[in-house]
Chains A and B, each alone.
Chain A
Amino acid sequence: MNEYSQRALLPEGLHDEIMPTAEAEARIVHALTACFASHGYDLVAPPLIEFEESLLSGPGAVRGAHMFRLMDPQGQATLALRSDITPQIARIAATRLARAERPLRLAYSGQVLRVRGNQLHPERQFTQTGAELVGVDTTAANVEVILLAVEALNALGVEGLSVDLIQPTLVPAICDAFGLDADTALKVRTALDAKDVGALSGLGGDAEHVLARLLAAAGPADAAFNVLKSLNLPASAAQKCADLWDVCAQITAAVPDLKVTVDPGEFRGFRYHTGVCFSFFAAHGHRELGRGGRYLIDSAGNGSGGESATGFTIATDSLLRVLPDLTPPRRLFMPFDAAADAGAKLRSEGWQTVAGLEPVADDFAEAERLGCDHVLRDSEVVSCGGRKN
């Protein structure tokens, strides 16, 4: 450890991605976007930095406290670094691609930066990969994006994938229906945010009963819907549950062995959403892999609402943590005197080749020093262990 090593430490929440995770993550991103493309989602790539104002419109309205800002020396305008890519996709759909045919299917992958991480996900810079389906507000559209994410995550080998279905507008609808005043509604939100049934006490009457049952209903989909049906919810809230049920029934029919849970009291972190939402978990992961749901695009750029869209974002670093170790690539050492054209053919067969830049006494020792498990000898691939492939 020298002085430079210490000076080169990075700020909290930032780190150098090195081998082998950097390559593994690149492969994950490629697999995800290829899956999205195979379903007709077109890749778009917005810039890292934009005018602060446009990053804060539509679904970006709740991101203000999360963004790094800087001044543009050219136009003296305040710029912000994206902390979430979804608002950028919404902006593209509302402006550049306003006249493109609907439904509009867009995919993206890129780095985001946020002012602070949280305890479970301390990274301040990470890669978001996702897809958005713009312009259709139907159960079929909700189902399409969930199944797209499920297909992509299963194809990568996520073990024990589960989907949690959420209807963040349900609790506000119930508060409205019971005519709770603003102070009480705030108390309810805080209690439900922490899923703290104790904090609901003192609310009294039907509202306390219904909300407490709602909190207790979280769990496997069938059981949760049975509780919801028994609650005699007001009409507006009942409709929201029915929407959720339709989505649940269709994704279960499409992927029968998928684990589906329902959490009717959840809305933490789903501040801008207007309909069915969802998050993804892996059996042994401590944090969610990704999330998404329905929201409104700010079509006129004045906060008056507009087109409906749904989509999801996967945090690629969280995904990487739950995937089985990727098979290491086969590495082949090409001694200094190997024929120059031998490598091309082997690389096309899937070998990674490492060239010796000067003659050495023992090619096998050199191969192992450089992390290769095979050596090219007399135009033949020889394994370092058995000394014969």
Chain B
Amino acid sequence: MSANESLVIALPKGRILKEVMPLVRKAGIEPEAAFDDPNSRLLRFATNHDNVSLIRVRSFDVATFVAFGAAQLGVAGNDVLMEFDYSELFAPVDLNIGHCRLVVAEPKEMSEHDDPRRWSHVRVATKYPTLTRKHFAARGVQAECIKLNGAMELAPQLGLCRRIVDLVSTGDTLKANGLVEVEKIADISSRLVVNRAASKTLPELVGGWVDRFREVVNGD
């Protein structure tokens, strides 16, 4: 196996990683011990396969690493895929993990006399400006997006803007911050993503792993 035929798999840090690792292990990939060591400073990890290594990056960066071919495979939510709309990314397997919804939310008292059908201009705080603008544009609504990287729920409370677009799984965080969901944009789950050029130039290798992950998911 030449060095040219090595694979890098990009995994998202944080919450999703706990759900992804059982699938990765079931597919037969076992990372070196440092992967599970919180004190390790390593960023790239060897595995039990000589030609497969893992990297752990922020979920948005998974899409970027894979789109540019720096990693050949990765795991990313379709929220990230929709935000970037990279033409070089394929999502051939729905991993059926990390389920949540991407929604528009606003303060409870405001929602009581707010009719989403009559919006003409909205200002929204979100991690997903492109996706948000596109969603509202499809309905003919002007959206002015304020890009935040986290703690979206604070924005309405502190008067940054009245509405947010964010991921919701149980709805507890919204509730705790006095917000309610007024519109669902999309159902989200994690996908196995593949770089387009790699899937063409290393079809057996990349396709083999895609099939492995598909079997693991369907076997559940």
Contact = CB atoms under 8 A, between A and B. Distances in A.
Interface of A: 118-120, 160, 162, 164, 194-199, 201, 215-216, 218-220, 223, 259, 261, 263, 268-269, 279, 281-288
Contacts of B189: 198
A82 B201 CA distance: 31
Contacts of A282: 201
Contact of B88 (A120, A215, A219, A220): A120
A216 B92 contact: yes
A164 B207 CA distance: 14
Contact of A284 (B4, B81, B94, B200): B4
A216 B199 CA distance: 12
Nearest to B81: A194
A118 B85 CA distance: 11
Given A118-B87, A269-B87, A284-B4, A199 B78 contact: yes
Interface string B68-90: 11000000001001000111111
A24 B200 CA distance: 27
A281 B86 contact: no
B22 interface: no
A92 to B, nearest CB: 30
A271 to B, nearest CB: 13
B91 A195 contact: yes
B200 A164 contact: yes
A269 B201 CA distance: 19
B23 interface: no
Given A118-B87, A198-B189, A215 B68 contact: no
A197 B199 contact: no
Contact of A197 (B94, B195, B200, B207): B94
B197 A201 contact: no
19 contacts: A118-B87, A162-B200, A195-B91, A197-B92, A197-B191, A215-B92, A218-B90, A218-B207, A219-B203, A220-B203, A220-B204, A263-B200, A268-B87, A279-B200, A281-B197, A281-B200, A284-B201, A286-B88, A286-B197
A119 B86 contact: yes
B55 interface: no
Given A216-B214, A219-B207, A287-B197, A196 B81 contact: yes
Interface string B87-117: 1111111100000000000000000000000
A88 to B, nearest CB: 25
Given A119-B67, A219-B207, A269-B87, A283 B201 contact: yes
